[in-house]
Amino acid sequence: MSLIFIPGTVGSYQCLSTDIVDNKVAGAFYKGADIYCTDTQTWYRVLDDLTLASLAGDGVLDKAVIITGSFAGAGAAALHAANTHVAPLGGGVVAIPNAVRTPGGSAYVMDIDLTTSASGLTIVPRIHFYSASTVTVAADSGSWIELYADQNNDCGYYTLAAMATASGSSTCSRSTSTDTSVSTHPAILVNAAAGSTTLYAAIETRTAFTTSASQLWNIRLHLDQN
């Protein structure tokens, strides 16, 4: 099947998947146009170098969503030194379900908002992201650790600004990456494990503080899902 051009605002094409050679389709020279493969029912977009980027089934390049992961900390107050883990009751990492659109897919973390139920906190939090819950992390208030064996599941981290009591509130503290300048957004590429759409996170405090008993934490992410 030869390439067929379909006029429109930007223009689009249809062809067979076998027409894609070296990630290009001969004659598809409209940058930003979409290509629909009739035999596989898949969509692609023509990039600036005329190579193709795979689109979701609905022909959308990405999808912006807001996802949260929450947990309660240890049942008793605990001193956390600098560079230690703020862990959920029971330990481990925090599950953030439906962070990616398709099993084994990926997304960009565009903004992070961390809130806790204690007011007056000024700690500097670092949020770590993982594609699996099986990574090894320290127990609550234990020194932060990273293992070479976990590198394939490590999606990176982002260090937030110091937390502060939320405006008009005496019951929570917050830190956020949100800013009017797009250049300051994290834009961290994260992914889920094969067969999963869940992302995992953990909080490292870069400065010392003492948690309250059963302190609540909420990690809110603005994600651009691929």
Task: Determine how many CB atoms are found less than 10 A away from the CB of residue 138.
Answer: 16
User: SS3 helix, strand, coil % of the chain, rounded to 5?
Assistant: 5, 40, 50
Distance, CA of 139 to CA of 86 (rounded, Å): 8
What tens digit of pLDDT does each residue of 35-81 get?
Answer: 888 887 778 888 888 888 777 655 455 577 889 999 999 999 999 99
> Considering only CA atoms, which of 93, 94, 97, 105 is closest in space to residue 195?
105
Strands 164-165 and 209-211 turn out to be unpaired
State which CATH number among 3.30.310, 1.20.1300, 2.60.120, 1.10.10 fits the domain covering 63-225.
2.60.120
Angle, vertex CA 170, rays to CA 166 and CA 176, nearest 5: 15
Q: Which residue has the higher pLDDT, 1 or 219?
A: 219
Proportion of the chain above pLDDT 70, given as a percent? 89
Instruction: Mention every residue, 6+ apart, whose C-beta is less than 8 A from residue 18.
Output: 39
Lowest mean pLDDT among 70-79, 105-114, 127-136: 105-114
pLDDT of 32 > 80? The answer is no
What tens digit of pLDDT does each residue of 84-93 get?
Answer: 999 999 999 9
Phi, psi of 83 (to 5 degrees): 65, 45
Q: Which residue has the higher pLDDT, 23 or 55?
A: 23
- In this prediction the pTM is 0.72
Instruction: Mention every residue, 6+ apart, whose C-beta is less than 8 A from residue 105.
Output: 191, 192, 197, 225, 226
What tens digit of pLDDT does each residue of 138-173 get?
Answer: 999 999 999 999 999 999 999 999 999 977 777 899
Task: Determine how many CB atoms are found less than 10 A away from the CB of residue 14.
Answer: 15
pLDDT of 4 > 70? The answer is no
Give residue limits of the domains in the chain. 4-54, 63-225
Q: Across the strands, what pairs with 158?
A: 127
| Contact call for residues 62 and 189 (beta carbons, < 8 A) | no
> Which one-letter DSSP state was computed for residue 206?
S
| Contact call for residues 98 and 197 (beta carbons, < 8 A) | yes
